[in-house]
Structure 1
């Protein structure tokens, strides 16, 4: 799947559809008897569920959810996807994930597993036919559900379900756990065919035995070679300069059955191995064949239950549904960019009959909710005396921040909650959005004389969007010609000490530090050296910052200066990626790709840019050029490759632009960055 920066926030279904088609076509009779139940792509991850068409009438309640645990603990370069469905009367759940990379990041991988267990949540429709199954999940005897609750997750499991609320749960993917030995030692044992020795140092096995990760899962015996890392197109382990140590990064596990579950309801593993003939990747895929008995409720008992329910409804048809909510006001208070907040209210059925509830769109509106708000559950059924926890979640991401920054929208709305055949509740949603420099046009930022957090909303809305850029002042490269936020970040990075850091550009920084940097850009505060070097006093942190600090990744392999520098790079890339119009205007996208053919063409393009945009492009380009030229020789080429990959955010096509071949387009954007850097050499 795509791994470039653009793929982190823009979804392209081309490869997802191609994989679905290829898999179905590979089945018997070109897959004529099969169909896709569900599929979902999250950057580099893709989960597809396929079954026979004959099973279609028996599959229901199919739901998909996903969560990112990558950059800032929410980007999708690392994360997971889950599909939950009901087959006959059994619930099946499939999870795929891509966890943190690198040998020394075991603790982060364990943390990613816990985060995904907590955040992969589905809506659950109560069903009398399977209510006894829900009881077994929620009575404290299910290890997976208990794990989620012990990690401070409070949910109403009557109307929601975790991945563990399933009869069968299969978790697969690039879990990225490594072997705690050097590359040469591992290969020596492989030559002796001593997999048993290597498995003693397998991180996943060690962590599972210690109960630190996947404690409620089982895995079949590993009798196959490590699946990572190979030279693509071969069966030869990595021969590049990095020489990654072979490891079993790709795994398939399943949730253990309850001790008290009948033997016939348990999963049986029939085969577990890798696919050495797959040459497309530096990983070798793994596959597993499993057998499971599916629950099917006796139809006669089902009809008896149905008839009893109909009779109950007839007897209560004259009764009036009644309900109460705990509050009509939901106030999120201050809401920051990319900050997740959650509030809840209680809805109680105070009547004597079943009560149906649902949220409705307001008059003349199609959508029930504004884009910055999510509500769960959106509808449901309550028995007499039953309560439902209704959760309201707000998060402003780059796709919706612009109108909030301009003051054109507010965190403010009225929701209509209807009790069928009864009254409506009107729930007031409010919040105070704190403007951010992320997502504000470059020209507008450059005109601001005070930080965006001090800019009155009405003034921000009325700020003139930069007079004609072509009439801007002389394109001298200095702070005055640049948005102060951009200058501030690059001024921190632009010195020989930073350029000598070997890991610069090659790794992500720290979530806490990235959040601190972003707050400084929004408030205008100067960067505090102690904070950036990791000496932050926790007593001075807000509650939300303390929460982020607990989730921050340990950086034992990097010194403090390197962590701060790479955190600053993360913020710089995110800032450029969030611009409504990139540094190279979208209107000049095709011309920019043509300029990648030669230095002369590149110079002509730079001259044709509006002076202000040209200043910004040259400033960033010269910074990147010097970062490469002054890099330690051992990492210079790797740094250049990473810069080319990351800074394709400087240009992107218009929204309505159709890429004929996304892979070729990606290569052209990278070629543009290379040509830009070449044109600035020796300047």
Structure 2
């Protein structure tokens, strides 16, 4: 099981008491957590041109570690209660000014993860400052094309073939972040639809959902996104449930609400289970998360070990993964579950290649 989350935190450094439980919630703990942040530092000249400020990233990692430990019941690798031995390990993290990505893996799966690589492509002014102009979807589409074209991973021998060199060379890809697509509608019409909670009508105005560029074959051709059944994630008043558009009378500061924060994917091995937003009021964006079941192939030696373990486990009537006994389906309230059954995923060094992409906008 793969958990993917994205959150634009508006240049604010987290405080020690910030609770991430709402964002990281799921019916059961996942095997892998991929968490992406935008604007973990203010996007000013000092942060762009000066030395990188890693302080906020360190705080976020500490909060994530604490949250994941609590999700897993503070259990050690052997199942014993041991708060000093977290169940999840940080596999890789990377900061690029305000962009921050980290990947956490269940500790007992650590040995099966290999060939981790990171590649950065800067976009915007000077390759760092973002393109935030409302209505400038052409520039954002151009950024996507440049990221796909310029991202390179050093390849090496990977079984009988070479490891993937580009993003699209991977079998399965997840694209997450503040994509900054807006609503092609007026302020008045948007407010009316917001009052009625008519997300379906609003989505008809969404630049991504319109898929004009996608249909023309110019951007995100072949990519998928789950159905959206939640309110626009931007732009809120801080510590409030009200959008800026509902409270601001100045046209200069007006921001029409939109689903800026998105999670897309490409690949047959990825099966989305749910797609939701969190309700933390820490930022002017609401966090977004999604869960996937990923089918991967294991090396023969690992398969034998797992088969022996599974065979032994299935002798116990309470075994969760015993194929002769079905488990009740558990879902989040109000969330449509796309895949009903729960699969046992065996991560390994062989099998489909997986790539996580964070756009720099």
| TM-score normalised by the chain length of structure 2 | 0.64
Distance 1:50 1:185 in 2: 42
**Residue 286 of structure 1: which of 285, 288, 302 is its match?**
288
Provide the residue aligned with 2:155 in structure 1: 124
Residues 14-93 of structure 1: pairs in structure 2 closer than 5 A: 14-27=55-68, 28=72, 29=74, 32-72=86-126, 74=127, 76-78=128-130
Deviation at 1:128, TM superposition (A): 2.9
Contact 2:261–2:288 under 8 Å retained in 1: yes
Structure 1 alignment gaps of length 5 or more = 79-99, 132-157, 258-265, 303-683
Say which one has the larger Rg: 1
CA gap of 1:221–1:209, structure 2 versus 1, over 3 A, is farther
Higher helix share: 1
Match of 2:228 among 218, 222, 229: 222
For structure 2, which runs of at least 5 residues remain unmatched after alignment?
1-39, 75-82, 305-361
Tell me, yes or no, if structure 1 residue 162 matches structure 2 residue 166. yes
Residue 267 of structure 1: CA displacement? 1.3
Query: Aligned in 2, Cα 1:186/1:209: closer, same or farther, shift over 3 Å?
Result: farther
Instruction: After TM superposition, give the deviation of residue 210 of structure 1 in Å.
Output: 3.5
For the Cα contact (< 8 Å) 2:234–2:258, is it kept in 1?
yes
Provide the rounded CA distance (Å) in 2 between the counterparts of 1:301 and 1:281: 44
Aligned to 2:256: 245
Residue correspondence of structure 1 range 160-559 to structure 2 within 5 A: 161-206=165-210, 207-238=213-244, 239-240=247-248, 241=250, 242-257=253-268, 266-276=269-279, 278-299=280-301
Aligned partners of 2:123 and 2:143 also within 8 Å: yes
1:253 counterpart SS class: strand
| Displacement of 1:204 | 1.1
Shift of 1:288: 0.4
Which residue number in structure 2 is paired with residue 6 of structure 1?
Answer: 46
What's the TM-score, normalizing by structure 1? 0.34
> Alpha-carbon deviations, 1:566-598, whole Å to 9, x = none?
xxxxxxxxxxxxxxxxxxxxxxxxxxxxxxxxx
The offset of 1:227, in angstroms, is 0.3
Cα root mean square deviation, aligned: 2.1
The one of the two structures with greater contact order (alpha-carbon pairs below 8 A, sep at least 6) is: 2
Q: Distance in 1 between matches of 2:107 and 2:55?
A: 24
Residue by residue, what CA displacement relative to the aligned partner does 1:324-363 show, whole Å, maximum 9, x if unpaired? Answer: xxxxxxxxxxxxxxxxxxxxxxxxxxxxxxxxxxxxxxxx
Q: 1:102, CA displacement in angstroms?
A: 2.6
The separation in 2 between residues aligned to 1:174 and 1:122, in whole angstroms, is: 23
State how many pairs are aligned: 243
CA contact (8 A) 1:178 1:249 kept: yes
